Amino acid sequence: MGRPSFQLVGNFELGFVHLGTSKNQYLGIWYKKVTPRTVVWVANRELPVTDSSGVLKVTDQGSLVILNGSNGLIWSSNSSRSARNPTAQLLDSGNLVIKSGNDSDPDNFLWQSFDYPGDTLLPGMKHGRNTVTGLDRYLSSWKSNDDPSKGDFTYGLDPSGCPQLFLRSGSTVIFRSGPWNAFDMDGRTKSWNVYSTAYKDDCDSYALCGAYSTCNIHRSPRCGCMKGFVPKFPYQWDTMDWSNGCVRKTSLDCQKGDGFAKCSGVKLPDTRNSWFNESMNLKECASLCLRNCSCSAYTIQISKEEEVDACSGLVID
C-alpha cells in the first residue's frame, strides 16, 4: 500500500497526507465528510516521510510499518503479540486496528490506534492508565499545524486519590477539571461547533489564589479567603499576587470540638491527596475527618452510586 487513501463507506479515511504547508508526508486518519479536512490521528508524528515514497505494510509478525523509498523503516506499531494471517482495518469508529485473520473481537486486537491518541479524543477512545500493562493514554498537542510531533501541552488522567484530568505545560499544571471537555460535529453543516471549553477565564488557572481560597471572576479582587482564613502574606495580596494563599486565623485542635464550615457552589479541590470510601455515609465521613487533624474537608459525590470523599492536606484549586 502506498500513496492512495483507504476509504470506508462511513466517517473516516486513512492515507498519506501533507499537513499545512509542509512537504513532508504523514500517515493520518481524518474525517471523510468534514470541511476543512480534520486529521484526528497521525502514526509517524515524530518522523515524517520527507518525499512522496511512503509505503504502508503489514508484516508477517503482525506489525504495521511505514517505509521510505529506500525501504528504510520510518515508523512501526511494534505489536508484541503473535499473529496468524495479520490484517489491518480502519473501523468506522476511526480506530485503526491489526487483527489475526478475521478475528474482530476487540479484546484480541494485536494493536490499535485508540491506545495511542494524539491531540484528538474520539468517541470510544480510551483515556487514562492501564493498570495491568502500564500504558498511559493521554492527549498531547501538536507543535504546529505543519508539525504533528508532540508539543508542550498534555491533557491526561491522574489516578492519584480520586482520578482527575490535568492540563499541563511540560510538568507544570495549568488547569484541573473533573468533567470532560469535548467538541461535537453538526451533522447538517458538516462543520465544528464548540461544545465546551475547559479553560474559560483566569479562575481556571491552577491554584491562582493559593490554598484555602476561592476565586470569583466577577469579584474584585477575584481571590478571597475561605471563612476562618486570612491572607498568608497580606502585602502580596495588595499587589494582586495571591499564589501563597490563606492560613487559618486560629490553629485547630481537632480533639476539642472543632467543626466544618459549609462551602457551596465551588469546584471540588485538588483530590490527589484524598481518599474515598463507597460504603461510608456522610455523617461517618465527617466524624472520621474530625478525628484526623490532617483532614481538611469532606464531601459527598452522588452518581450512579453514592460515594463519599474525604479530602486531606491542603484545600487548593
Q: DSSP assignment of 149-166, as one string? A: SEEEEEEEEE-SSS-EEE
pLDDT in tens, 24-54: 999 999 998 888 889 999 999 999 999 888 8
Write down the domain spans for the chain: 6-194, 200-251, 259-317
Cell numbers standing for residue 194 = 464548540
Q: Taking the complete model, does pTM exceed 0.85, yes or no?
A: no
pLDDT in tens, 179-218: 343 444 445 566 667 666 666 788 888 989 999 999 998 8
For the chain, where are the alpha helices, taking DSSP H only? 234-238, 282-290
How far apart (Å, rounded) are the C-alpha atoms in residues 156 and 40? Answer: 17
What is the residue whose three cell numbers read 481518599?
Answer: 275
Amino acid type, 87:
T
What is the residue whose three cell numbers read 452522588?
Answer: 302
Greater confidence, 288 or 92? 92
Identify the sign of the CA torsion 174, 176, 180, 186: negative
How far apart (Å, rounded) are the C-alpha atoms in residues 189 and 209? Answer: 42
